[in-house]
Amino acid sequence: EAMTEEAGPSMVMFAADFHKDFSSRTYLLPRKTEPQAIRNFTEDSAAGDGLEPMELEDPGITKRFTGWTSDQVEARYLLSPELMLAISDVADRMGSERIAVSFSGSWMYFAVVLDEDRFSFQLDSENDGGYTVAKAIYEDLVTFLALVEHFNLNTRIWSKA
């Protein structure tokens, strides 16, 4: 389904290679159920895709997300307490409840729908030269790079064989 006005004016996507191949597919989807581009997912479609619900152990993550996976054991390995805390921190820093995270192949994909338009701004003196929007984009990058730093701290665990 194409992006709709209900999704918000900006969607930011981030992908990071875990440097560890995993065979399962695991998804953290926003608990909110209203229509949105990143929540076009039903229990029936999940079951048809070989996914089953997973119980998330972190209360902060449970409030924000529903979990689906094709392998409960591998999902628990992927979603370490440290990673769940890092995902919660990113959600807090981004200020959005419309966040989806997926793990597939060796990659983690992170999508955030924002209520403000991050991609259309004027570089003129009436709009502070675009400084406010540029600063927000910079802060988004710093937030995502904090996730990468989290992965780097676990290099031994996640390194490919």
Interval 117-129: pLDDT, tens: 767 666 666 767 7
State the burial class of residue 86 (Cβ atoms within 10 Å of its Cβ: 0-12, 13-18, 19+): middle
CA distance 117 to 72: 37
CA distance 44 to 38: 17
pTM: 0.76
pLDDT of residue 2: 42
In eight-state DSSP terms, residue 73 is H
Domain limits for position 132: 5-158
Number of domains in the chain: 1
Question: What is the residue type of 136?
Answer: A
Measured from the Cβ of residue 148, the count of other Cβ atoms closer than 10 Å reads 13
Enumerate residue ranges in the chain where pLDDT < 50. 1-4, 155, 158, 160-161
